[in-house]
Amino acid sequence: MVKKARLKRYLGFRRIFLCLVGILVLFCNPFEEGKADRQQKIHSIDVSAVLEEDGTATITEDWEVTAQKGTELYKPLRLEKEQSLLSYQVEMDGQAFQETKNWKVKGNFQEKAYRYGRNENKELNWGISQYGRHRYRLIYRVSNFVMQTKTKQMIYWRFIPDQMSAPPRNIQIRIRSTKGPLDAKNNRVWSFGFQGEVHFVEGQVVAKSSKALTKENSGIILLGLPEGTFKTTWMSDKTFDDYVKEAFRGSQYNYEDYDATKAASDIRKIPRKKLPKRLKYGILVGGICLLVVAVGKIWQSIKVKQAIQKWYPKFSQLQKKYKGQYERQLPTKDIFSAYCLLEAMSVKKLEANCFTAMILSLVHQGALTLVAKEGTLKKQFIFQVNLNFEMDPEDVRYPLWQVFSQASDQEGRLTDKAFKAYCEEDDEGRSVMSKIKSYSLKQCKEAGWMNKHLYVSECPSDLDLANRNVPDPLTEEGMQARDLWVKFANYLTDFSLLNERGAAEVAIWDQLLIGAAFLGIAKEVEAEFAKVYPKFRELSVYQTSEISFEDYYVMSYIMWQDYYIATQPTFTSAMSGGGGGFSSFGGGSGAFGGGSGGGFR
C-alpha cells in the first residue's frame, strides 16, 4: 500500500510538472524569438536643454528607434498658460522633415512620411518614414521654461513621460545654462521616475538611467536656481521648498535632510545612511517579479545569447581564436578612441585600465612624475605635477589633468588622499570617465565602426539578432578594428618569443606600455620587454633609481580606487539635500511638461 501511495504521488507530481512545462512552452516558444525581436523598440532618448537669459529653453531630443510597424512617433507636451512653443522641427538621420499644420493622427504611413506636426497642441508628432533602426532628432523651444517661485527660480519638468508604448532602454537628460555653470555651490538638483543617477558635471546637470525603463517609469528633473537668474515671466505664489516637499512624497528622498540654507560643502559632509526599508522591500519585490518574468522568457533569450556570443565574444575568447596572429603597431593612433571596441569585448576592469593608461600617458609627456615621499620610513610615493605643462582643453585627458593640477598643492605635490578628497568635493571629477566614453563613441561612429541604421528583416540572421541586442552594434569594419586590438595584445604578450626590437626602440616600447595598460596587461608586457632587452628598465621613462614601473602601476591603481570610491554614488542624505547622486524611482508629483503616453502609434 505504501508503494502504491508513493507511486500515485509521483505520477501526480509528474502530471503537474508536465503541465507546467507545457504552459511554459506555449507562452515561451523559442521559435517566436524572431517575432519578439522585431517588436518596436526605443533604444535610447538623449535630451539636452539649454537655458537662455529670458528663461526660454532650447530642447534637443535624440531618439534611437527600431520600428517595424505603425505610422508615427509622438511625445506628449502640455504647456502652461504662461508658456508657448516658439519653434519646432524634426529630422531623421540628418534629413529634415516638412511641417504639417493640421496633423492627422489617423493618416496613413505615406501621408506622415518625412513630416511632423502637433496633435491638438498637446503632442509633438512625426512620421516613422522608414522602418528599421533610425535616429530621430527633435529641436523645439519653450518660452518661460524657468519658473520664479516666491523664494527661488526652478525647473520642474517631466522630460520623459510614463506609460510610453515602448519604454526607452536608456535615457540621458542634460541641462546647461548660457548664464554660467550649473554646480552644487549655487544649485540643487533631484531626479525622479527612473533608476539611475543625477550629478553636476562640467557646469551641467547630467542625469542617466542605469536600467531599462518600464511603462511606470518617467524622467523628471527638479532643479533649484538662484532667485533672479533668468528674466522669466512665469511666476508662482508657492515657495521653492513647497515644490520640493511635494516632489519628495513617495520618493526615496527624505525632506528632513533637505536644508535650503546649507552650503555645498555641508551637503557633501552629511553622513551616509543605509538604504531606506521601503527601498529595500521595493528591490526585493522587484527582484522576485523580474525572476518570474525571466523564467517565463528564458527560452526566448537563448537565440539572442547565442548570437551575441558568436558575433560579440569576450576578449579571452578572441585571443584563443587569433592565437599566433599579431598586430605590431598600435591599432589606432589614439588609443582612447578604441574604448567602445574594448567594451564590446568585455575587457576586464576596463575603466581602471583606461585610468592607468591616462596616467602613464601623462607621465610619458612629462606632465607627471612619481617621487618618493620624504620623511617616511615605509616606501611611499606621491605624484609631482608639472604646473608649467599646458594641455589642450579638447584633449580627452583634460578633465583628469584638471583634477591633478587643481588637487595638488602650490608646489605641485599630490598625494592619493588629496586626490580622493578633491574628487569627493568637486563634481568636475566625474567627467573623467564619461568624457572618455562619449569621445570613443563619437570617434567610432565617424570612423564607420558602428552601425547607424539597422533595418528590420522578416528572417533575421544571427548577426541581426546580435546587433539589435547590444548597446553599440559594430559594422564589419568595426569588428576588424576590434580584432586588431586582440592581435596587438597577442603581439605584446609574445614579445620575448618574437624578439624583434632593439635598444633604439625603448621610446616606442614606453608608448606600447600605454596600450598594454589600456588592455590590462601592462605588468606582463613590461616583464616581456625586460627579457628582450635587460637595460630597458634603465632607459625607460617610467624607471629611476628610486622608482620602478611597478611603483607607477600600483600608484595608478590606488588613484583609480580613490577616484572610484569618491565618485561612486551611494544613497546618502546629501542626495536629499540636492547635491546629486542616485535618482529616486518614486516621487516627482506635480511636475510640469506633459502627461502620460508617447512612443509608437
pLDDT in tens, 46-81: 999 999 999 999 999 999 999 999 999 999 999 999
**DSSP characters for 501-542?**
--GGGHHHHHHHHHHHHHHT-HHHHHHHHHHH-TTHHHHSTT
- Asked whether residue 380 falls in the same domain as residue 440, the answer is yes
Amino acid (one-letter) located at 449: W
Q: Is residue 307 part of a domain?
A: no
Cβ atoms < 10 Å from Cβ of 250? 14
In this predicted model, what pLDDT tens digit does every residue of 203-230 receive, in sequence order?
A: 899 999 988 898 889 999 999 999 999 9
Residue-level pLDDT at 269 = 47
CB 343 within 8 A of CB 350: yes
- Phi, psi (5° rounding) for residue 196? 170, -150
Residue 303 lies in a domain: no
**From CA 306, how far away is CA 599, in angstroms rounded?**
30
Residue 37: the pLDDT is 41
For residues 112 and 102, the answer to whether their CB atoms sit within 8 Å is no
Question: Quick one: pLDDT at residue 239?
Answer: 93
User: What is the Cα–Cα distance from 306 to 299, expressed in whole angstroms?
Assistant: 12
Query: Do 354 and 399 have their domain in common?
Result: yes
Residues 472 and 591 both lie in one domain = no
CA 13, 16, 21, 24: dihedral to nearest 10 degrees? -140
Residue 174 included in any domain:
yes
Judge if 582 and 562 occupy the same domain: no
pLDDT in tens, 10-44: 555 555 554 544 544 444 444 444 443 456 899 99
Q: Is 7 inside a domain boundary?
A: no
**Nearest alpha carbon to residue 146 among 244, 224, 238:** 224
Shared domain for 48 and 75, answered yes or no, is: yes
- 511 and 594 housed in the same domain: no
What's the rounded Cα separation, in Å, for the pair 575 and 272?
10
Q: Does position 285 have pLDDT exceeding 60, yes or no?
A: no
The pLDDT of residue 274 is: 47
Which is higher by pLDDT, 567 or 137?
A: 137
Say if 282 falls within a structural domain.
no
- Looking at the domain assignment, is residue 395 inside a domain? yes
- The pLDDT tens digits for 530-571 are 888 888 888 888 888 788 888 888 888 888 888 887 776 554
Residue 479, domain extent: 315-567
Mean pLDDT of 94-123: 92
Residue 21 lies in a domain: no
Task: Kindly state whether residues 235 and 346 are assigned to the same domain.
Answer: no
Is a pLDDT exceeding 70 seen at residue 282?
Answer: no
Average pLDDT over residues 496-507: 65
Instruction: Give the total number of structural domains in the chain.
Output: 2
- Amino acid at the residue 14: R
Residue 582 near residue 57, CB atoms below 8 Å: no
Give the ranges where 56-196 is alpha helix by DSSP (H).
109-112
Query: 416 with 461, same domain?
Result: yes
Q: Does 274 map to a domain?
A: no
CATH code for position 222: 2.60.40.1730
Q: Does 191 lie in the same domain as 126?
A: yes
Q: Are 235 and 335 found together in one domain? A: no
CA–CA separation, 474 and 466 (whole Å): 10
The reported pLDDT for the residue numbered 465 is 77
Q: Angle CA(519)–CA(523)–CA(525) in degrees, nearest 5?
A: 70
- Higher-pLDDT residue of 295 and 88 is 88
**443 shares a domain with 374:** yes
> At 497, is the secondary structure helix, strand, or coil?
helix
Same domain, 136 and 111: yes
